[in-house]
Chains A and B, each alone.
Chain A
Amino acid sequence: MNISDYLCKEAVILGLNAASSEEVIRELGGKLHDQGFVKEDFIEAALEREANMPTGLPLGGEYNAAIPHVDIEYVNKSALGLATLKDDVVFYNMVEDDVEVPCRLVIMLALDKPKSQIEMLQSVATVLQNPEIIQNLVHAKTTEEIFEILS
C-alpha cells in the first residue's frame, strides 16, 4: 500500500503561497471537497480541530510537516491531499500545542473508517520519518514528480 494509491491528484498543490495554516487547510479541503471525498463541513471541522488539537510535526530535518485531519463523520471516502508551501507556515506542535512548528509540507488526511487505514497511515509515517523524501517532495516541480516520489 502506497500513499500514492490514496493521493487525490486534484488535491496536490505545489508551492502554495499561504499566509496561515487556515489558508492551507481551506485550499486543500476545498480541493478534496470539489472531488467529493469530504463533506461540506469538513473544512470548518478541520479548522476547529487544528485550533484545539494542532497537527504540526517537527521532523528534525530541513522541513517540517503538518497532517490536518478530522473525525470520519466529515468524510465520504478516504483520500489524501498534499500541499508544498512556498514559505514556511506556522502550525502548532501536536503533542505540545503551545509550540510553533514552521511547516513546508502539509498532508491532509481524509479517513472514512476508524483504524482501517493502518497501512496508509503507516506509509504516511514512513514518509514523515524520511528527511530525504520530505526534501524531494518540497522541491518537486510537478504533480507527477510527487506521485513518483511516493510510489
Chain B
Amino acid sequence: MAKTVIVSCGTGIATSTVAAKAIEEACKAAGVAVITKQCKGQEIPELLKQGADLIVTTSTMRFDPGIPVVKGLAFLTGIGIDEVVKEILDILKD
C-alpha cells in the first residue's frame, strides 16, 4: 500500500511544490509507492485525520503531530539533500 506524505509549507503552493515533486521522484527511484498531499502548516491537523505516514515541512512546525517529521529545506537549498532523502526513505520503508 502506498505511503502518504504530507508536504507542508507556509502557503501550500510554493516551496511544498518543489519538495513534493522531489519526494515523489526519490521514492519512485527507490521503488517506494507514495502519495503526497500538499498543504499549509495550519492545515496539517485536518490532513492527519485522513491518516499519514510522514510530514515533510519547509515551514516551522508548531505542534507535535504524533508521526515523524522531516525538515525539507534541503529540497530548496540542496544542503544535506542526500541525508534528507535517505531519512525520508528509511521512514517510508519501515
Contacts and interface: CB of A to CB of B under 8 A. Distances in A.
Contacts of B71: 95-96
B10 A129 contact: no
Interface in A127-144: 128-129
A58 B76 CA distance: 10
A125 B76 contact: yes
Q: Size range of the interface on A?
A: 20 to 34
A71 B13 contact: yes
Contacts of A115: 13, 17, 38
A53 B8 CA distance: 12
Contacts of B11: 49, 69-71
B62 to A, nearest CB: 9
Contacts of A97: 59-60
Contacts of B15: 67, 94, 121
A69 B18 CA distance: 14
Contacts of B72: 95
The interface residues of chain A, by DSSP majority, are classed as loop
Given A95-B57, A95-B71, A122-B18, A57 B13 contact: no
Interface residues of B, number: 23
B21 A122 contact: yes
Nearest to A122: B18
A88 B10 CA distance: 24
Given A72-B13, A115-B38, A95 B73 contact: yes
A114 B59 contact: no
A57 B21 contact: no
Contacts of B18: 118, 121-122, 124-125
Interface of B: 10-15, 17-18, 21, 38, 41, 57-60, 71-73, 75-79
27 contacts: A53-B59, A53-B60, A57-B77, A58-B79, A59-B77, A59-B79, A94-B10, A94-B60, A95-B57, A95-B58, A97-B60, A111-B13, A111-B14, A114-B12, A114-B17, A115-B17, A117-B17, A118-B18, A118-B21, A121-B15, A121-B17, A121-B18, A122-B21, A125-B75, A125-B76, A128-B77, A129-B76
